């Protein structure tokens, strides 16, 4: 029997990457007088690495030829990342990024159905709480029994550690839970923790390999805004708790 839903955040609950994280990185670079500019296309490449600090480290290592690397690179990156988080939180506070279609409804239906909920994400914890606060109100933070985020585990997605941590905190086995993801790194992480996984794609992840997913949709959708099934099958025209329970039971 299905007991809990475990959600990724970036790309799954909201389209935060292009107009959120990317913009915040660029603001932090500008403030630090770095002439780095992460375009939408470049950011798509950089998303191969999860974690903002790890992403900057990859950029310095692979994309910059003439950059004189600071003696304490980790400290340099951590300071830059702190400013990036500051700008990202500002964007959330301004309510710049809405939840994706169907997300709020699925969360509310899950609560009404008595399902437990958790979050498993690579992003910084305060980014998650501010997204929830700005879209659903401060009380929504308590809808999630566990918010597993950021540096709480050593190895970020695609490693399964963050989902394993969320399961441990819930005190549940993977087979009574289902995960929601949007990316290849995400599904590698969730299925690595033995979780059945429903994927909603976005512009950055449309071409990713989701062969391990129990269902791939373009969005959760709504009654008046149907989801497109990209792989697998669903009995309803949009994702609801009944269809999630059915997928969990049969997939």
The helix/strand/coil state of 226 is coil
Q: Which of 123, 202, 205, 240 binds ligand XBP (CB under 6 A)?
A: 123
Could you tell me how many residues of this chain bind ligand XBP (CB under 6 A)?
19
Nearest distance, CB of residue 181 and Mg ion, angstroms: 6
Which of 6, 36, 110, 124 is the binder for ligand XBP (CB under 6 A)? 124
Picked from ligand XBP, Mg ion, none, the partner binding residue 123 (CB below 5 to 8 A depending on kind) is: ligand XBP
- Please say if 8 is a catalytic residue: yes
Which of ligand XBP, Mg ion, none is residue 191 near (CB under 5 to 8 Å by kind)? none
Verify binding: residue 208, Mg ion, rule CB under 5 A. no
CB 199 within 8 A of CB 217: yes
Residue nearest to ligand XBP (CB): 52
> Catalytic: 10?
yes
Give backbone dihedrals phi and psi of 67, rounded to 5 degrees, phi first: -80, 125
Q: Does 11 interact with Mg ion (rule: CB under 5 A)?
A: yes
CB 163 within 8 A of CB 142: no
Compute the C-alpha angle 210/215/220, nearest 5°.
110
Q: Which contacts qualify for 33-41: CB closer than 8 Å, 24 or more apart?
A: 36/64
229-231/215-217 β-pairing: antiparallel
CA–CA separation, 203 and 130 (whole Å): 23
Q: Does 10 bind ligand XBP (CB under 6 A)?
A: yes
Q: Exactly one of 122, 190, 197, 219 binds ligand XBP (CB under 6 A); which one?
A: 122
In angstroms, the Cα distances linking 140 to 5, 14, 130, 132 are: 15, 15, 11, 6
- Smallest distance, ligand XBP to C-beta of residue 93, A: 16
Site string for ligand XBP, 19-58 (x = CB under 6 A): --x----------------------------xxx------
Q: Is 17 in the site for Mg ion (CB under 5 A)?
A: no
The residues carrying an active-site annotation are 8, 10
């Amino acid at each position: 029997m299905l007991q809990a839903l475990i959600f990724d955040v970036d790309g799954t609950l909201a389209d935060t990457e292009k107009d959120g994280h990317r913009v915040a990185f660029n603001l932090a670079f500008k403030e630090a007088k770095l002439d780095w500019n992460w375009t939408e296309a470049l950011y798509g490449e950089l998303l191969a690495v999860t974690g903002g600090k790890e992403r900057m480290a990859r950029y310095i290592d692979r994309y910059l030829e003439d950059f004189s690397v600071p003696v304490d690179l980790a400290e340099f990156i951590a300071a830059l990342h702190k400013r990036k988080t500051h700008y990202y939180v500002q964007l959330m506070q301004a309510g710049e990024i809405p939840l994706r279609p169907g997300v709020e409804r699925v969360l509310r239906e899950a609560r009404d159905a008595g399902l437990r909920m958790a979050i498993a994400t690579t992003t910084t914890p305060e980014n998650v709480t501010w997204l929830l606060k700005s879209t659903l109100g401060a009380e929504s933070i308590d809808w999630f029994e566990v918010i597993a985020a950021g540096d709480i585990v050593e190895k970020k997605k695609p490693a399964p550690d963050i989902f394993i941590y969320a399961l441990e905190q819930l005190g549940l086995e993977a087979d009574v839970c289902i995960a929601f993801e949007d990316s290849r790194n995400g599904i590698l992480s969730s299925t690595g923790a033995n979780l059945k996984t429903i994927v909603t794609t976005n512009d950055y992840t449309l071409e990713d390999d989701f062969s391990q997913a129990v269902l791939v949709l373009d969005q959760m959708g709504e009654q008046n805004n149907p989801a497109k099934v990209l792989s697998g099958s669903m009995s309803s025209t949009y994702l609801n708790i009944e269809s999630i329970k059915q997928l969990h039971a049969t997939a």
